[in-house]
Amino acid sequence: MLLAIDIGNTSIKLGIFDDDRLKATWRLSTEVDRSADEYGALLLIFLQRQKLSTSKITGVTLCSVVPPLVAVFQEMCQQYLGTSPLVVGAGTKTGVRICVDNPRELGPDRVVNAVAAHHLYGEPVIIVDLGTAITFDVVSKEGNYLGGVIGPGINIASEALFARTAMLPRVELTCPKQVIGNNTISAIQSGMFFGYIGFIKNILQHIEKELGCKSKVVATGGQAYLAKEIPQIEIVNPHLSLIGLLLIYKMNKVKD
């Protein structure tokens, strides 16, 4: 079995693959100060609940946008699984041609999403990752990764509004019943929700205009609930990054 780990700014996704089947998934908060032993103990609890043994895990692959945690998880994998993970980064074979000015600047999370979307849905494809940041990644009809767009996620914007104003409260982000809010909380919810819906729709429209063709659009990420309000988004796949990690592991696996 393969353990896939996607380390994000806010949360860490873990998945166990038995061949090509995603057998179990877990999510935990990203804590830079946690030790390898703490993450290892959590992993053992997750595996135990699924009645899975560490001895069955024969490989690990990970991507991370939090550099300090790479070494922590490498240590965890060595101590608790007896293996070193494949870390997605510069020089890793991905099967997708990266056509940007400096490929080393590209976040590995965006690479694994692009690999999975290209494999699952063909091309051209646009991936909208609705997480801590909102990213748009574009794979052309030739199968080239062209680049994308990065913006602040809805939670970041909401926290900034709370932090930088004296009288506006922190609110739960939900879909309002109407655009016109009749109190401060509903007005903020409306501004956040419908504002981000408009932002995403507009970016997708401009991307397709530049591509000059209709594209398949797939959404992923912790805020993917926004996707149901966006007609351009045809598919929501919460496990896109884990699938991309599986595919990249297979491409880079050295056979004994």
Q: One-letter amino acid identity for 254?
A: V
Residue 124 φ then ψ, to 5°: -70, 150
CA proximity to 47, closest of 6, 14, 19, 75: 14
Residue that is written with structure tokens 């598919």 in the block = 235
Return the active site residues. Answer: 109
A 10 A CB-CB count for 33 gives 7
Judged by phi (left if over 0) then psi (alpha if -120 to 50, else beta), residue 84 lies in: beta
- 3-state class of 138 per DSSP? strand
Q: One-letter amino acid identity for 187?
A: A
Asked if residues 218 and 127 have their Cβ atoms less than 8 Å apart, the reply is yes
d(CA 138, CA 215): 9
Residue 41 φ then ψ, to 5°: -65, -40
